[in-house]
Structure 1
Amino acid sequence: MAIREPVFKPYNQQQILAIPPTLDELIPDSHPVRVVNEVINKISIEPLLKAYHIKGSSSYHPQLLLKVLVYGYLTNIYSSRKLAAACRESIYFMWLSSMSYPDHNTINRFRGVRLKHALRSVFEDVVKLLAAEGLLSIEEINTDGTKIEASANKYTFVWKKSIQTNKEKMKKQLTHIWEYAQQVASDEDKMPEPPDFKQIDSEKVKQAVEQLNEKLAGRKDIDKKVKDKLNYVTKNYPQNIARYEAQEAILGERNSYSKTDTDATFMRMKEDHMKNGQLKPGYNVQISTSNQFIVNYTIHPNPTDTTTLKIHLEQHVSSFGKAPKKLTADAGYGSEENYQLLEDQKVEAFVKYGMFDKQQKGKYNSKSPFGADKLFYNQQQDCYICPMGQQMLSIGSYTKKTTTGFKQTLKRYQARNCENCPMRAVCHKSKENRIIEINENLNRLKQNAFEKLNSEEGIQRRKKRCYDVEPVFGNIKQNHGFRRFRLRGKEKVAIEWGLLAIAQNIRKKAA
C-alpha cells in the first residue's frame, strides 16, 4: 500500500512576477487609510505651507507628513520613531508616503514646530468637511472634559501653599533678628523701624539682610544663636526669595505645577492605576461633540470644568464664526457665570446644576424646613416669611467677585425679632436676628435650567449626552490606549490632542 505524502501550495521566494502588484492594489477599498488620504487631500494645507522657508534644502511635503501622523494616531502609533519605522515596514504607511522614508527627527520637528500654528486650521477644515456631508452639527453640541496625565515627573512638584508657608517663615525670622538688633543697638547707633514684611520681595529681603549685617556682623557680644540665624539668612534668603518669585510667576492662578512640564498642574486622576487617588501632573481636556465627532477642543491647566467653559466657547466662536445654538453639559458647568455667559451668547443651554440629580431623585434636603430655599417669598412686599411666620425684610445688597472675576449680587434679608423664638436653636446659630443671603439672578437661571432640562427636548438631550461625548473619551483612552501625553508644554499638548481629534473624526467617518 502506497504511503500518501502531504500536499503543499507552491512556495518560492525567488518567484519573479511578470506584472508586480502596486501598493494601491494591496490595500482594500474600504480600509481606513484610504479615508485618511481622501480627507487630507480635500482640505486646504495653505497654513502648513507658511511654516516653511523658501530658502534651504528641499523638505518632505507637509501633506505627506500630515497623513503619516494622522494615520499613526488613528492606529495607536504615537512615537515618532515607530512612525518612521512604519514608513519602511507597513504597506499602508508606504502607500501614504509614496515610498518616502522620513526619519523620526523630521516627523517630530514637523509635529512640534510646523504644526504649531496650522493644526487648528486643519482640524477646523476637517470638521467643516464632515458637517457639509451631514455627519455632524456645529450648532448643536455636547460638552465634557477629562484629565489626562502629562509627560512629567510625578515627584518634581511646586506647590503655591508651600511657597507661602516658607515666605511666612522668612518674615518671622527677619522680624525676630530685627527686634534683637534693636535691643542690642547703642543709643547713638539705633536700628530704624523694621521694614513692612507683610509683602516681601527680593529687593526688600536684600536690603533687610544688608542692614542687619551692617549692624550685627561686626559685634562680638552678639548671641551665638542669633549670629547663626543671621549667617543662614545672609546665605540663603536672597536666592530663596528670588526662586519663589520665579515660581510664583509660573504658577499664576494655579496651585501647583511640575518642574519637568511647568504648564502641567497636579490633578486627581480617575484612571489612577495605583487606585489610591494620587495627584499627578496633567491637563484638563475639554471637547464638544456631535454624533461622537469632535467639533471643538481646548486644553486647560485648571482641574475643574466650571471655569473652562468661557474659553471653550470663545474657541468655538473663533473657529466657526458664531456660538452654537444649543449646548448640553453636566453639572460640572452649572455655575451662575456659565449660565449668564450662555444666556448672553443666546445659546440654548441644557446644563445641570449641582443639586439637579438629587432633586430629581427626591433626595435633596436643605435644612428642611429652615433652609433659605424653603422659605416663602412675598413678591409684592419683597420679604421672606420665616418658619414662625415672621417677616424677613430686605436690608440691602452687596456685590462680590468670584475667583474668575465674575461679579455676583447677593440680597440680604433679616428677621425682625428672633430673641424669644422657640425654634431659634434649630433655625440658625447667629447671636443676632437671622440674616439670609439670596442670589436672585442665580435662582432665576437655575429655575430656567430646571424647566429646560425637564422638558421633552431636555430629557432627550440629557440622554443623548451620555452616549455622545463620554464614549469619545472612553474610545481614545481605553480602546486606543492614550492615557498620557508624549509631548511637554501646553502648545505641544494641544498639537497632540488636535491630531487625536482629527484621527477620531476620520475613524468615525470610516466606520
Structure 2
Amino acid sequence: MIFIRMVLLGFLYNIDSDRQLCEEIGYNLAYRWFCKLSLKDDVPDHSSITRIRDRLGEKVYEKIFNEIVEQCRKAGLIKLDQVMVDGSVIKANASIYKMQERDDKKKDDENDPKSPHAHSKDGLSVNDFRKRGIGGKKISNKTHISPSDPDATLSGKDGEQKALAYKTHHAIDACSRVIVDCHVTTGSVSDVTMFIERMNHIQEKFDCKIGEVIADRGYGSAENLEELQRQNIESNIPLWSSKVGETFFKEVEGGFKVDHETKVVHCPEGHQMKSSSHDEAGHRDLYVLSRKICMSCPRAKECLTEYEFKNRGKRFAVPIHFRIFSEVMEKQKEPEFKKKLWQRMWKMEGIFAEAKSHHGLRRARYRGRTKMQIQVYMISTVQNLKRLATLVMDSAISFLQEMIFGLIKTQKIEKLA
C-alpha cells in the first residue's frame, strides 16, 4: 500500500509536513523505489494523506505495529525474559497561553473588550494570556482546557514550567530493545497508575509470562511491587522514595518488634502496644502506649518525641506494606540491582532519545489523543524495523564472513597440497 510506505518514509526521515513529504518523493528516486512508483507515476496529493489517515483510524495503525512486533518475535528478537518500562512526555501541538476556563456557558459578550472571546480590529485577541502575562494566575487541568486540543493536559515536574502535553508509556525487550508496547495518555497521567494495566496487556498480547520487570523509582509503589510478587514476576524497581518507611525502620532498629501475622507490637522494654486506629491516607496502622507506662520507663526521654513526652505516650506507626519495603530495601543494596538500573538508563532512555532526535517524538504533529497514538505507533514501528533490519544485516555479514574464511582456508589447503 503506497500510503503506508509514504507514512513510514515520513517518520523514518522525520519529515513532519505531508506537503514536503510528497515533494521529496516526487524527485527522490530512492523514495520512489520504496513507494513502488515509477518515474511516470504521479505522487499522491498531500491532502489525500490526511483523508486516508483519518479514514483508517487508530486500530489499523495498531495492527501495523503489532505485525512488525510479531515479525521481530519470529526472528527471535522478543523473549520477554526481561522487560524495561518507562514513560516520556510529548509536547502537544497547542499553547498554554490559549487555555480557557472550563465553562460551557459563554457569559461574556464578544463586543466586551474584557471578554476572552473579544477580538481587535486586526483579528488578534485583546485579552490574550501572552499579552496580559500569566504570572499569578492559577491554571490547572481542573479549571482550564485547551480549545484547540482538549485531550492535551498540563504536565511537568515539580519546580519546572508546566506545558500542554501527552505521555507515552513504553515497554521494550531488554535484550533486543524492540518496543513491545507503546500506549499514549494525556500528560497528567502518572506512570505508576498505568503500570500493571500495561504489564497485563503485554502478557495477554504475547500469551506468555514476563520474567522480570526493570523500571525506575517512578513505578516503585507498594501496590505495584506486591502485584508483581503475586504474579511471580521478578522486579528490579527501587522504592518510589528513599524516605519510604524511614521512621518505621529506625524504630525497629531501636528495639521495637512487630509480629506481622498476629499484628502485635512490643516496645524495647517488652510492653505490648495497643492497636489505636488505621490511617487510610497514610496506609499504616497506629499503635499506642499509655502515658503512665511511658513516664515510668527509663528510656522515656530518648524514645518519646518532645510532643509525646509532654502530652501523651508513645505512638508507633506500622506501614501496611512494610514487608515489601523491607525486601526491596535489601535488594537495592545488591550490585546486580544497581547494574540493571544502569542498563535501563541507557537502553530505555536511548529509545526515547532516538525517537525524539530522529523520528519526531519530541512534539505532537497532530491534535487529539487518537492521532497522537497513531504518531507513536508509526514511530515505534520505524524503530522496530530498524532493529529487524540490523538483525538481517548482521546475519548477512556473518554469512559472508564465514564464506570468505572458508574460501581462504580452502586456498591455503590447496597451496599446501
- TM-score between the two structures when normalised by the length of structure 2: 0.71
- Residues 47-77 of structure 1 show CA distances to partners (whole Å, capped at 9, x for unaligned) of xxxxxxxxxxxxxxxx221122112201111
CA RMSD of aligned residues (A): 3.5
Equivalent residue for 1:277?
Answer: 160
CA contact (8 A) 1:390 1:416 kept: no
CA contact (8 A) 1:261 1:488 kept: yes
In the TM superposition, what are the counterparts of 1:221-260 in structure 2 within 5 Å?
257-260=145-148
1:109–1:397 distance in 2 versus 1, CA, 3 Å? farther
Instruction: Pick the aligned partner of 2:184 from 292, 296, 299.
Output: 299
Equivalent residue for 1:320?
Answer: 206
Q: Does 1:506 align with 2:385?
A: yes
1:256–1:353 distance in 2 versus 1, CA, 3 Å? farther
Aligned with 1:118: secondary structure? helix
In the TM superposition, what are the counterparts of 1:356-375 in structure 2 within 5 Å?
356=242, 366=246
Shift of 1:397: 5.0
Instruction: Pick the aligned partner of 2:151 from 263, 269, 281.
Output: 263
Aligned with 1:151: secondary structure? coil
% of aligned pairs identical? 21
1:429–1:469 distance in 2 versus 1, CA, 3 Å? farther
- Residues 138-162 of structure 1 show CA distances to partners (whole Å, capped at 9, x for unaligned) of 34210011111111122133578xx
Aligned with 1:436: secondary structure? strand
Instruction: Pick the aligned partner of 1:433 from 313, 319, 322.
Output: 313
Q: Does 1:73 align with 2:11?
A: yes
Structure 2 stretches lacking a partner, 5+ long: 106-139, 391-417
Q: Does 1:493 align with 2:372?
A: yes
Aligned with 2:31: secondary structure? helix
**How far apart, CA to CA, are the structure 1 residues paired with 2:258 and 2:290?**
16
Equivalent residue for 1:288?
Answer: 171
**How far apart, CA to CA, are the structure 1 residues paired with 2:151 and 2:381?**
24
Segment drifting more, 142-151 vs 460-469 = 460-469
Equivalent residue for 2:86?
Answer: 144
1:72–1:269 distance in 2 versus 1, CA, 3 Å? farther
**How far apart, CA to CA, are the structure 1 residues paired with 2:323 and 2:141?**
30
| Paired amino acid for 1:465 | R
1:370–1:339 distance in 2 versus 1, CA, 3 Å? closer
Instruction: Pick the aligned partner of 2:265 from 379, 383, 406.
Output: 383
Instruction: Pick the aligned partner of 1:340 from 226, 232, 247.
Output: 226
Shift of 1:265: 1.0
Equivalent residue for 2:396?
Answer: none
| Paired amino acid for 1:487 | Y
Structure 1 stretches lacking a partner, 5+ long: 1-62, 164-201, 203-251, 271-275, 359-363, 402-407
Shift of 1:129: 1.0
**How far apart, CA to CA, are the structure 2 residues paired with 1:68 and 1:299?**
23
**How far apart, CA to CA, are the structure 1 residues paired with 2:308 and 2:26?**
75
**How far apart, CA to CA, are the structure 1 residues paired with 2:143 and 2:56?**
32
Shift of 1:384: 3.9
CA contact (8 A) 2:83 2:213 kept: yes
CA contact (8 A) 2:141 2:154 kept: no
CA contact (8 A) 1:70 1:503 kept: yes
CA contact (8 A) 1:331 1:354 kept: yes
| Paired amino acid for 1:310 | I
**How far apart, CA to CA, are the structure 1 residues paired with 2:310 and 2:172?**
48
**How far apart, CA to CA, are the structure 2 residues paired with 1:329 and 1:490?**
25
Shift of 1:279: 1.0
1:432–1:142 distance in 2 versus 1, CA, 3 Å? same
CA contact (8 A) 1:157 1:259 kept: yes
1:294–1:254 distance in 2 versus 1, CA, 3 Å? farther
1:354–1:114 distance in 2 versus 1, CA, 3 Å? same
**How far apart, CA to CA, are the structure 2 residues paired with 1:67 and 1:80?**
13
1:437–1:256 distance in 2 versus 1, CA, 3 Å? farther
- Residues 225-277 of structure 1 show CA distances to partners (whole Å, capped at 9, x for unaligned) of xxxxxxxxxxxxxxxxxxxxxxxxxxx9967642221111101279xxxxx93
Equivalent residue for 1:104?
Answer: 46
Length, aligned pairs only = 342
Q: Which of these two proteins has the greater Rg computed from alpha carbons?
A: 1
Segment drifting more, 449-458 vs 462-471 = 449-458
**How far apart, CA to CA, are the structure 2 residues paired with 1:335 and 1:453?**
15
1:436–1:328 distance in 2 versus 1, CA, 3 Å? same
Segment drifting more, 74-83 vs 455-464 = 455-464
Aligned with 1:340: secondary structure? helix
- Residues 323-358 of structure 1 show CA distances to partners (whole Å, capped at 9, x for unaligned) of 5221110100011221122223332211111345x8
**How far apart, CA to CA, are the structure 1 residues paired with 2:240 and 2:183?**
23
Shift of 1:281: 0.4
Equivalent residue for 2:275?
Answer: 395
